[in-house]
Amino acid sequence: MRQIVLDTETTGIDPRQGHRIIEIGCVELLNRRLTGNTFHVYVNPQRLIEQEAIEVHGITNEYLLDKPLFADIAADFVKFISGAQLVIHNAPFDVGFMDHEFARVAAMAGKKTSDMCTVLDTLEMARQIHPGQKNNLDALCKRYGIDNSHRELHGALLDSEILADVYLMMTGGQTDLNLSGKSNSEGGSQVERIRRLDPQLNQLKVLRATADELVEHEKRLDLVNKEGGSCLWRE
């Protein structure tokens, strides 16, 4: 199964108020293994970034002046994510912005994210696994022992890499997410069971010292005691 762990940074909170995507970061998982394939791009939003957003991600208006427009990177982005399951923390936020951007690209012909991908929301998953607890990315890193000390500001690629670790920890032992508890089409559980080794398998043979070997061993300890004044083995 191909999954894309995805995060975006934006100029503000609401695309309906004209806010735009300014950074996209993606990492690829294939059968629950990181492949090393990534997609990362900064985007010129053609508008100012709200100061509150700059304080979150540290991306400035000046930095984005020479970056490509979303329309210029849309085809490569779509090619990278098409057919995959998107793994996103608080998916409605990112998907809402993606759909807003896709709608502005004439070549997209009205396509939405759901036309190209399925979406898994890890925030919703975390709320079901840990009800009543904080489930933001920092809290989940702390809960699962994931080092995010290098995360001083939000960044789309860094956050997607961290989210990949969180997702794999949250779904440890599972080959597919099954929040409903239903069985798969083959009638079996989707939980990958831990295989335990037979305790009788390949038991080590214990070799005990012979009487002659024990005598030689004691002679050696006598020598150690004589030369060193003591023998820890006999204490």
Q: Which CATH number does the domain housing residue 88 bear?
A: 3.30.420.10
Is 7 labelled as part of a ligand binding site?
yes
Is 50 labelled as part of a ligand binding site?
no
Is 9 labelled as part of a ligand binding site?
yes
- Place 151 in a pLDDT band, splitting at 50, 70 and 90: low
> Does residue 97 form part of some domain?
yes
> Does residue 230 form part of some domain?
no
150 is catalytic: no
Is 222 labelled as part of a ligand binding site?
no
> Does residue 28 form part of some domain?
yes
Is 159 labelled as part of a ligand binding site?
yes
Tens digit of pLDDT for each residue in 119-138?
A: 999 999 999 999 999 999 99
How far, in Å, CA of 22 to CA of 41, rounded? 8
Q: Which of 36-45, 114-123, 145-154 has the lowest mean pLDDT?
A: 145-154
Neighbouring CB atoms inside 10 A of 51's CB total 8
Q: Where are the beta strands (DSSP E) in the chain?
A: 2-10, 21-30, 33-42, 85-88, 118-121
For 12-25, what is the mean pLDDT?
Answer: 96
Confidence (pLDDT) at 190: 38
Catalytic residue among 19, 40, 130, 154: 154
Neighbouring CB atoms inside 10 A of 141's CB total 19
The verdict on pTM exceeding 0.85 is: no
> Does residue 133 form part of some domain?
yes
**Residue from 227, 121, 233 nearest 177 by CA:** 121
DSSP states of 131-169: TTS--SHHHHHHHHT---TT-SS--HHHHHHHHHHHHHH
> Does residue 90 form part of some domain?
yes
Cβ-contact 28, 37 below 8 angstroms: yes
> Does residue 83 form part of some domain?
yes
Tokens of 130: 């840990």
> Does residue 175 form part of some domain?
no
Whether the per-residue pLDDT at 8 is higher than 70: the answer is: yes
When divided into structural domains, the chain yields a total of 1
How far, in Å, CA of 52 to CA of 114, rounded? 30
> Does residue 226 form part of some domain?
no
- For 81, the domain range is 2-170
